[in-house]
Structure 1
Amino acid sequence: MNDHILVVDDEKEIADLIELYLMNEGFTIHKCYDGKSALKVIEEQRLDLAILDVMLPDTDGFSICRTIREKFNYPIIMLTAKIEDVDKIRGLTIGADDYITKPFNPLEVIARVKAQLRRYKNYNDISQEEERDVYEIGGLVIDNERHECTLYGKPVSLTPIEFKILWTLCENDGKVVSSEQLFETVWGEEYLDCNNTVMVHIRRLREKLGERPRNPKYIKTVWGVGYKIEK
C-alpha cells in the first residue's frame, strides 16, 4: 500500500512542486492550500506523514500540528520561510519531527520524507520483535514491543521520536546519555554543537509526563553531560 502524505501550503506553485516530486516516488498525495481543507483531510484520510507550511491564510501550521498530535503519531515536517530558531523550536516543541526552510531543494524534501517514514515504520513495527521489552519506573511503563507508554495506567501519547528518546534512556538504565549520543542514536545523523533539538524534545517529553522542571521524577539532567533515567 502506498504511503499517504498530506501537503499543506497556500503557495500553489510550492504545493504543486512537492506533489509532483513525491508522486514520482510513488506516494499518494493529499494537497491542500488552506487549513480548513487540511483539517478535513486529517479527519477523513489515513495518513502516514504531513508536510505543513507555517503560514496559511486561515490559520497556521503550528495549530494544525497540535491538532494532529491530539490523535495521531505519524511524522510531521514543517515548512517555514523564516530562519529564526524560535520558529523551529516552537514546531519541535508542539510535536513536529523535522523542518525545512524555504527556498528548498525538492530532492531534500524527498530525502527528509523517506527518512521520517523509515523511522516511523521501524519504531512501530512489532512483528520482528523476538521478545517483549518493558521498563517500569515508578508508575511509568514503556513497552517497546507494543510501542506503548502509560503513566499510572493512563496512556501517554508520544511521537516516534519521543518514544525512541525515552526508550534509549531506559535502555541505558541509570547511565548518563549525552545529547550527542541521543541525537545520533535517535536521528541517525551527525550531531552539531549548536543543535538544540534534543533539548526541545526532552522538554516536550517532560511536559507529557507531568514533570516539574526543577525537580523531574523521571528524566534527570546531569549538567554538562546529558540525561538519564534511573529505575
Structure 2
Amino acid sequence: TALGALTDSPPDLAILDVKMPKMDGMELLKRLRQTSELPVIFLTSKDEEIDEVIGFNIGADDFVRKPCSNRLLSERVKAVLRRARASDSGPEDGDVKPIVRGRLTLDPNRHSCSWDGHPVRLTVTEFLILQALAQRPGYVKSRDNLMDAAYDDQIYVDDRTIDSHIKRLRKKFRESDKEFDSIETLYGVGYRYNES
C-alpha cells in the first residue's frame, strides 16, 4: 500500500493527489501523520479553497493545483525540502541553543518540541511558525511575518493558511494540556506567543 511504502522506506518528500483510488490523499495523510512528519505536497485538480484549508489542517506542507508546469512543481518541492532540511540541522558553525519558554522547549537542531516534558510532533511548517513566535514571546507576529518564517519567498501562500497551521498547533498542544492557551490571536493584527 502507499501508506506502507511511505512508512517502511520513507522518501525525502511525498507528493499526493487528493483523488487517489482506494484511499484518498487526505485520508492517507491523516494516517501518515500519526507516525511521521514526512514533508507532503498535495498535487490536485480540486480548486476549492476549503480543500486547501482541510489539507493544511491535517498536516500538508504545500498545495499545488493542476494543471501546473513541471518547473513550478520542481520549485515547490525544492522549497519544502529546503525548509525540512533547515529545521533538521543547525547552522554550519555550530548548534543553535534550544528555545525554552516556560513549559515549551523547541530544539531546532533536532527538530523536536516538547510541552511540560511531553513530546509534541510537529510538521516542518508548524515547527517554523512556532519557532518564529517563541523566539520573541509577548511580541506580535503578523501573518506575513509567519509566512516569511515558514515559506520560501517564491511560494505564494494565502494568509489564511497560517490560521490553519495555528489551529493545528493549538490542537496538538491541547492533546497534552487541555488548558493550553499560549498562542494568542490578536484579531486584525496577528499572533503572539505568551509564556506559561
TM-score, with length taken from structure 2: 0.89
**The residue matched to 2:174 in structure 1 has which SS?**
coil
**Which is greater in Rg?**
1
Residue number among 137, 162, 167 corresponding to 1:203 in the alignment: 167
Aligned-pair identity (%):
36
Partner of 1:174 in structure 2?
138
Residue number among 43, 47, 55 corresponding to 1:83 in the alignment: 47
Q: Which residue identity does 1:174 align to in structure 2? A: G
- CA change 1:192–1:216 in 2 (3 A) is farther
8 Å CA contact 1:92–1:201 kept in 2: the answer is yes
Residue number among 125, 143, 151 corresponding to 1:161 in the alignment: 125
The CA distance in 1 between the partners of 2:156 and 2:123, in whole Å, is 23
The CA distance in 1 between the partners of 2:15 and 2:169, in whole Å, is 22
* Superposed structure 1 runs of 4+ greater than 4 Å apart: 190-194
The CA distance in 1 between the partners of 2:158 and 2:10, in whole Å, is 36
The CA distance in 2 between the partners of 1:193 and 1:106, in whole Å, is 19
Larger mean CA deviation between 89-98 and 220-229 belongs to 220-229
Residue number among 35, 41, 48 corresponding to 1:71 in the alignment: 35
8 Å CA contact 2:13–2:40 kept in 1: the answer is yes
RMSD: 2.2
8 Å CA contact 2:147–2:159 kept in 1: the answer is no
The CA distance in 2 between the partners of 1:216 and 1:226, in whole Å, is 18
8 Å CA contact 1:80–1:102 kept in 2: the answer is yes
Measured against aligned partners, the alpha-carbon deviations of 1:118-162 in whole angstroms (never above 9, x if no partner) come to: 111111013636344223334222222322111222110001110
Q: Could you list the runs of 5+ residues in structure 1 that have no partner in the other structure? A: 1-36
8 Å CA contact 1:169–1:229 kept in 2: the answer is yes
The CA distance in 2 between the partners of 1:50 and 1:159, in whole Å, is 13
Q: Which residue identity does 1:144 align to in structure 2? A: P
Measured against aligned partners, the alpha-carbon deviations of 1:159-213 in whole angstroms (never above 9, x if no partner) come to: 11101100100112211011111112221337979531111101110100108xx
8 Å CA contact 1:184–1:190 kept in 2: the answer is no
The CA distance in 1 between the partners of 2:88 and 2:158, in whole Å, is 30
Provide the aligned length of Structure 1 versus Structure 2.
192
The CA distance in 2 between the partners of 1:162 and 1:194, in whole Å, is 16
Partner of 1:136 in structure 2?
100
The higher-RCO structure (CA 8 Å, 6+ apart) is 2
- CA change 1:221–1:143 in 2 (3 A) is same
Q: Could you list the runs of 5+ residues in structure 2 that have no partner in the other structure? A: none
Aligned pairs for 1:113-128 within 5 A: 113-126=77-90, 128=92
The CA distance in 2 between the partners of 1:228 and 1:125, in whole Å, is 26
Q: Which residue identity does 1:81 align to in structure 2? A: S
TM-score, with length taken from structure 1: 0.76
Q: Which residue identity does 1:128 align to in structure 2? A: E
The CA distance in 2 between the partners of 1:46 and 1:139, in whole Å, is 32
